[in-house]
């Protein structure tokens, strides 16, 4: 049963499966590409600031898939039908969280390699950037899922979700980008801890949001 759910969610969300799901990665690379045009091709400057730009690009890319994450399935009544089959909202949200992270975390991490080349990042920076994104993207996915579920029944949900995600993602950004400046693993540990907490809370918060949306 759970395997069937994960399969459906992945087919729905995974890049290159159609439906514009590859957009976050393309968007992420586009930001990394634009930055050298905006500040000039000064390699030392790019190398010093590029890591932070990649983090901001990742954060913005995390906003893009939110409008299609939960709202459509609420409209279709998928969660209602699953509930009748004994699948709680929390379970469907935990599955959705996993699928959401798989569909945007790993592709983003892979896309960091070309982005790092574009920004002339040094190996040490790239190392902490990759570790930071690996630790941070599950947290971003969890925040995104909670926001998507909360705003699913609102008319201006898509615009609002972007606005809500940015402040909530701030701790991940501070410690994740902070690891680049100090080049230490302790900050990454913090990012991982924050992510872990968010991932643990998200299915329950999102599940409650879906129930609340039903009561209208």
Partner 1 sequence: MAKARLSANGLACRRGDRLLFRGLSFELGEGEACHVTGANGTGKTTLIRTLAGLLTPFAGSVKSEGAMGLLDERPALDPDLPLGKALAFWEQVDQCADPSNALQVLGLQNLLDVPVRYLSTGQRKRAALASLLSRNAPIWLLDEPLSGLDRRAIEQVTMLIQKHVDDGGIALIASHQELAIEGLKPLAIEDFIP
Q: Are 142 and 202 in contact (CB under 8 A)?
A: yes
Residue 83 or 127 having the CB closest to partner 1: 83
Q: Are 178 and 187 in contact (CB under 8 A)?
A: yes
Q: Are 130 and 48 in contact (CB under 8 A)?
A: no
80 binding partner 1? (CB under 8 A): yes
What is d(CA 6, CA 137) in angstroms, rounded to the nearest whole number?
19
| Residue 76: CB minimum distance to partner 1, A | 5
214 binding partner 1? (CB under 8 A): yes
The residue within the footprint of partner 1, chosen from 37, 44, 85, 155 (CB under 8 A), is 85
The span of 41-49, 75-83, 106-114, 172-180 binding partner 1 (CB under 8 A) equals 75-83
- The owner of tokens 């630790």 is 135
216 binding partner 1? (CB under 8 A): yes
Half-sphere exposure of 69 (CA within 13 A, CB side): 36
- Report the site for partner 1 in 13-32 (rule: CB under 8 A): 18-19
76 binding partner 1? (CB under 8 A): yes
Q: Are 142 and 197 in contact (CB under 8 A)?
A: no
The residue within the footprint of partner 1, chosen from 26, 39, 43, 77 (CB under 8 A), is 77
What letters, b where the CB count within 10 A reaches 16 and e where it falls short, cover 144-153? bbbbbbbbbb
- The owner of tokens 């402040």 is 167
The span of 25-33, 79-87, 113-121, 123-131 binding partner 1 (CB under 8 A) equals 79-87
Task: Tell me which residues touch partner 1 (CB under 8 A).
Answer: 1, 4-5, 8, 12, 18-19, 75-78, 80-85, 87, 214-216
């Amino acid at each position: 049963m759970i395997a069937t759910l994960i399969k459906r969610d992945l087919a729905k969300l995974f890049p290159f499966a159609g439906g514009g799901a590859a957009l976050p990665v393309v968007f992420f690379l586009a930001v990394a590409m634009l930055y050298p045009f905006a500040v000039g091709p000064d390699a030392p400057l790019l190398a010093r600031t590029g890591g932070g730009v990649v983090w901001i690009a990742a954060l913005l890319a995390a906003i893009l898939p939110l409008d299609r994450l939960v709202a459509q399935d609420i409209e279709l009544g998928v969660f209602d039908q699953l509930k009748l089959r004994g699948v709680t909202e929390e379970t469907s949200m935990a599955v959705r969280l996993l699928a959401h992270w798989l569909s945007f975390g790993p592709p983003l991490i892979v896309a960091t390699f070309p982005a790092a080349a574009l920004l002339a990042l040094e190996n040490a920076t790239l190392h902490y950037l990759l570790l930071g994104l690996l630790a941070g993207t599950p947290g971003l996915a969890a925040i995104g899922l909670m926001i998507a579920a909360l705003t699913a029944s609102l008319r201006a949900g898509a615009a609002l979700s972007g606005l809500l995600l940015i402040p909530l993602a701030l701790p991940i950004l501070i410690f994740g980008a902070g690891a680049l400046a100090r080049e230490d693993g302790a900050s990454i540990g913090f990012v991982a801890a924050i992510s872990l907490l968010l991932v643990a809370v998200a299915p329950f918060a999102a599940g409650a949001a879906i129930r609340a949306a039903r009561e209208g």
